[in-house]
Structure 1
Amino acid sequence: MKIDQDGVKVEKYHLFTYRRIRRTIGYLGISLPILLISLSFFPFFKTQLQPSISHYYYTNLREIFTGTLFAVGLFLICYRGSGNTSIWKNDNLLTNIAGIMAAGVALFPTNPNDFANKIYTLIPYPEKYLGWLHYGCAAILFLIMALLAINVFTVGQLNETRSPKSILNENNIYRFCGYSIIAFVIMVPVSEILELSTYSTLIFESLSLFAFGIAWLIKGRALGDKGIIGKKIYQENNPVDTEKVFEE
């Protein structure tokens, strides 16, 4: 594909913009559990360590919990993908749904231990079944997180024929993150049934968010793409490959 100088500049601008959005989503995903857990140990916030990330809605750290989720949701909705014809690989559709689900997780809080303190932002009724709106949104959000990593992020290198590929190849990282998200989500109910720990849900939710964030950071090339990193992870030496702008 032949591109003139102005075209190259425009495409580079769009490419770097996409990468900034991806990195922002990744940083937000990773920072949420880190902030909530670390601030729980500061007496100033008068917040104890919670059994799950969702339970921080009922603490003094509620604004961090809801604000981060809304920010992730906004970036996901604003993210413009390639619009693959396959529903399972259509990043435009998947990120839009994920963004709405992220907002739903924040708007419909989990059921508290004491229903007398139940707070709903949209539905002002202390009904236990309404808490399933939260769980439903969270389940769909995590499922789409996994689908994006496994089905969408790997598209860019499907036709890559150069070999040998490093074990650190980006597609291997995306698949590892995607399947890790699924495994961690499955472990949430399993750990509760087995009563592994009071904080098992918090641990597995945090690990899921870490996997989600890492996938987006790698896709956003947060580590850079020059030298050994470019060769091992992305199989390229050129930090800006204008031929692949619309494939990424």
Structure 2
Amino acid sequence: MTTQDPTDTNPSLISYLTLRKTIGLLGLLLPVLLVVGSMVFSTCKWPDLQSSISGYYHTIMRDLLVGILCIVAFFLFAYKGYSQVDALAGKAACVFALGVAFFPTRLDEPFTTCTIKPVFATYWVSGLLTVDAVSKIHYLSAALLFATFTFFSLVLFTKSQGEQTRQKRKRNLIYRVCGVIMALCIGLLGFYFAFLEHTRLSTYKPVFWLEALALWAFGVSWLTKGEFIFKDKG
């Protein structure tokens, strides 16, 4: 049998598994909640999507986006795994998630029917932060956050001590598939911003769909870590 990670031998095991599944569920639902919520609670109409997940900061769904990112950040800060590396990765991901939440992406015209008045706190640090600076911090935080999520899936979640159970091997396959999907999304996003951002491809909102796919892979990975599927017997 495998050696469980430290949280699985703790009396709060059920709470930890529930938290993991909750975080996974939030990752799966976030893109859907943002799109549907913006259409239900504002004049936004399908298929008027924002260009990215982060673009929903400038819609009626701003509070939901920031709130979910803060919930995820709080859990990642408290995350424990096999070793100190797990804890450090969790705390780093916490910082990156807060960076995404509180340093919004730039919003350029033309605005859509989903858009509300753009908000940029350019005065945050005595006027030293410009719109461009805030946006760059946002993109850097987002890239590092997805990279850390990929590290979780490919490296941290697949670790075990001793002989792996059959269910653990199945879970590891899911972790690796999700990690590869997130890595591919990061690579394709980089390629798009480098070569294709100002082409007709932008009308299809590739950034939104790639970010959504990466979030869904993240969600499945964490749901699996919470033993939503392929749970070890006993």
- TM-score, with structure 1 as normaliser: 0.76
Alpha-carbon distance change, 190 to 100 in structure 1, aligned in 2, over 3 angstroms: same
Q: Structure with the greater relative contact order (CA < 8 A, sep ≥ 6): 1 or 2?
A: 2
User: Using the alignment, how far apart are the partners of 1:166 and 1:36 within structure 2?
Assistant: 34
User: Using the alignment, how far apart are the partners of 1:117 and 1:101 within structure 2?
Assistant: 22
Structure 1 residue 20, shift from structure 2 partner? 1.4
* Aligned partners of 2:99 and 2:138 also within 8 Å: yes
Q: What residue in structure 1 maps to residue 98 of structure 2?
A: 103
| Percent identity for Structure 1 against Structure 2 | 33
Encode CA deviations 1:45-100: one digit per residue, 9 max, x unaligned. 2334201011111111101111111111011112222324xxxxx11000111011
**1:217 corresponds to 2:223:** yes
* Aligned partners of 1:188 and 1:201 also within 8 Å: yes
Aligned length in residues = 210
* Aligned partners of 2:76 and 2:94 also within 8 Å: yes
User: Using the alignment, how far apart are the partners of 1:35 and 1:204 within structure 2?
Assistant: 16
SS at structure 1 position matched to 2:172:
helix
* Larger Cα-atom Rg: 1
Encode CA deviations 1:139-178: one digit per residue, 9 max, x unaligned. 110010000011100012x64366xx68971111101111
Q: What residue in structure 2 maps to residue 3 of structure 1?
A: none
Q: Quick check: 121-130 or 61-70, which moved more?
A: 121-130
* Aligned partners of 1:146 and 1:181 also within 8 Å: yes
**1:46 corresponds to 2:43:** yes
Alpha-carbon distance change, 161 to 208 in structure 1, aligned in 2, over 3 angstroms: closer
- TM-score, with structure 2 as normaliser: 0.80
Alpha-carbon distance change, 166 to 45 in structure 1, aligned in 2, over 3 angstroms: same
SS at structure 1 position matched to 2:89:
helix
RMSD: 2.6
Alpha-carbon distance change, 167 to 82 in structure 1, aligned in 2, over 3 angstroms: closer
Q: What residue in structure 1 maps to residue 134 of structure 2?
A: 130
User: Using the alignment, how far apart are the partners of 1:83 and 1:120 within structure 2?
Assistant: 38
Structure 2 gap segments, 5+ residues each: 1-7, 111-116
* Aligned partners of 2:34 and 2:56 also within 8 Å: yes
Q: Matches of residues 167-206 of structure 1 in structure 2 within 5 Å?
A: 169-192=170-193, 193-194=195-196, 195=199, 196-198=201-203, 199-206=205-212
- Counterpart code for 1:204: L
* Aligned partners of 1:51 and 1:201 also within 8 Å: yes
- Counterpart code for 1:56: Y
